[in-house]
């Protein structure tokens, strides 16, 4: 083909972001090639779980994959799993994975020839082409990097297996025996999933979770909280004034309503913030934002409370100094307010969250080395423009290279939850089909 406009869009990553972009492009008449390292197209890591204890962190009624059809998931549940079709409920993530697969397949059937699936590992991007590890070159009119969340990078993998560095790997937690105590790095959503998995396996040991702030994810209310109208002093001016205003509003109206008020305008506020303001937010406020913004279902919060009450879950505050592993134990050296401390247990599990590092991931590191991309000042990922295009070292947007989903967080911040990603999908679809 000589006319680039007739080429498909190449999407690197076949998880939720990539698969749902391919579906929306097909619905607009634009062909795409969806490249996934394995053969599981659609659900990605988060929605590939088979454990029904793993629940959505957003109410089912807000989880439709299409921006203008928020009830799409509820309609699907009503047709296929009516017992779970509660808009206010938190359905198993397994079912959401099935929904995403079904939407991709249904769209392929309705728009034959517009979505091509390709299994392979992309190792480089050259011009408008993705280069696979086999040497195959896949050319498109544009390339979208939708590579999802990488594994944690805090710990090395112990040769004896006492350090579980990638807890989402299938059967990674199987070696943990029912009576084993465990150390967990991180106290966020990944920790919650690990504890739920272990409990479903009959585990009855004790867990010590270590994080720098010792904060646990907050729970959703029993029903959706209506957002409040935020006053001007909560939206502009010094961060200290905004924070003080948000705290006063939370005391008066409840923190959930305040967070709901911020939710639809977070992207606008992030894009308008200076690099200094973003850096201050990340240094000082991010841990509190995360635990209030990315909440867990009430029934999951009740399970955590039970483990704490039974003294089977203890949360410690500290900074990691070093991690070691012997043939029988993992050892964690911490710096705490009370001085150095050492903890040990048969297992140490890394739940520190996705290890986004554009400077070491081969695909993005190569782009940076070629000056085709640059790292954002916050170092959260690649620098992008408002359309999601990668910015070159000189600040000029690349005409054909885009980033979507969690790897775009440096530019758009909230690109993890489905309601946020689907808005980016819609904007990118409109941009690519204009």
pLDDT tens-digit map of 222-248? 999 999 999 999 999 899 999 999 999
Residue 157 is predicted with a pLDDT of 53
CB atoms within 10 A of CB 123: 14
User: Is pLDDT larger for residue 68 or for residue 357?
Assistant: 68
Closest to 290 in 3D by CA, of 413, 378, 383: 413
Domains of the chain, by residue range, sit at 4-150+355-433, 163-218+295-350, 232-293
Q: What is the mean pLDDT of residues 346-362?
A: 86
Contacts of 388 (CB under 8 A, 6+ apart): 402, 403, 404, 408, 411, 412, 424, 427, 428, 431
Q: Which residues pair with 332 in a beta bridge?
A: 323, 343
Q: How far apart are CA 92 and CA 20, in angstroms?
A: 19
Residue 155 is predicted with a pLDDT of 67
Checking if the pLDDT of 152 tops 80, the result is: no
Tokens of 2: 């000589």
Residue 282 is predicted with a pLDDT of 94
DSSP 112-129: TTSEEEEE--EEEEETTE
Residue 340 is predicted with a pLDDT of 94
Ranges 10-19, 159-168, 193-202, 324-333: which has the least confidence: 159-168
CATH topology of domain 163-218+295-350: FAD/NAD(P)-binding domain (3.50.50)
Where residue 286 falls among pLDDT bands split at 50, 70, 90? Answer: very high
Task: Tell me the average pLDDT of the chain.
Answer: 94
Predicted TM-score (pTM) of the model is 0.93
User: Residue 2, by phi and psi: left (phi above 0), alpha (psi -120 to 50) or beta?
Assistant: alpha
Query: In terms of DSSP H, where are the helices of 310-403?
Result: 362-369
Please check whether the domain covering 4-150+355-433 is classified as CATH 3.40.50.720. no
Checking if the pLDDT of 1 tops 60, the result is: no
Checking if the pLDDT of 2 tops 60, the result is: no
């Amino acid at each position: 083909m000589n006319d680039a406009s007739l080429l498909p869009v190449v999407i690197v990553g076949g998880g939720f972001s990539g698969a749902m972009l391919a579906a929306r492009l097909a619905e607009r008449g634009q062909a795409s090639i969806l490249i996934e390292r394995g053969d599981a197209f659609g659900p990605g890591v988060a929605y590939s779980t088979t454990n029904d204890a793993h629940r959505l962190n957003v109410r089912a009624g807000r989880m439709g994959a299409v921006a203008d059809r928020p009830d799409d998931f509820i309609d699907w549940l009503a047709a296929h799993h009516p017992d779970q079709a509660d808009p206010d409920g938190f359905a198993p993530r397994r079912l959401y994975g099935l929904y995403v697969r079904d939407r991709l397949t249904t769209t392929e059937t309705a728009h034959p020839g517009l979505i091509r699936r390709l299994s392979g590992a992309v190792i480089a991007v050259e011009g408008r082409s993705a280069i696979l590890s086999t040497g195959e070159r896949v050319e498109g009119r544009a390339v979208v990097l939708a590579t999802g969340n990488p594994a944690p990078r805090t710990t090395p993998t112990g040769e004896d297996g006492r350090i579980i560095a990638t807890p989402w790997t299938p059967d990674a937690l199987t070696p943990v025996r029912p009576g084993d105590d465990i150390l967990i790095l991180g106290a966020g959503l990944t920790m919650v999933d690990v504890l739920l998995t272990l409990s479903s396996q009959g585990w009855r040991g004790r867990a010590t979770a270590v994080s720098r702030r010792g904060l646990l994810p907050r729970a959703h209310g029993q029903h959706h909280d209506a957002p409040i109208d935020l006053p001007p002093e909560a939206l502009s001016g010094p961060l200290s004034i905004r924070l003080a205003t948000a705290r006063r509003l939370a005391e008066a109206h409840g923190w959930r309503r305040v967070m709901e008020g911020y939710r639809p305008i977070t992207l606008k506020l992030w894009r308008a913030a200076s690099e200094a303001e973003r850096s201050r937010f990340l240094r000082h406020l991010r841990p509190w934002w995360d635990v209030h913004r990315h909440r867990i279902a009430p029934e999951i919060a009740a399970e955590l409370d039970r483990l704490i009450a039974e003294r089977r879950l203890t949360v410690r505050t500290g900074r990691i100094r070093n991690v070691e592993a012997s043939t029988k134990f993992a050892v964690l050296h911490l710096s705490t307010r009370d001085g150095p401390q050492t903890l040990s247990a048969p297992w140490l599990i890394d739940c520190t969250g996705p290890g986004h590092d554009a400077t070491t991931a081969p695909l993005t590191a190569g782009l940076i080395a070629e000056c085709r991309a640059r790292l954002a000042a916050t170092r959260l990922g690649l620098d992008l423009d408002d359309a999601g295009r990668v910015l070159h070292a000189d600040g000029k947007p690349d005409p054909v290279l885009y980033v979507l989903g969690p790897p775009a967080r440096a530019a758009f911040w909230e690109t993890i939850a489905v309601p946020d990603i689907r808005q980016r999908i819609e904007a990118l679809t409109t941009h690519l089909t204009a």
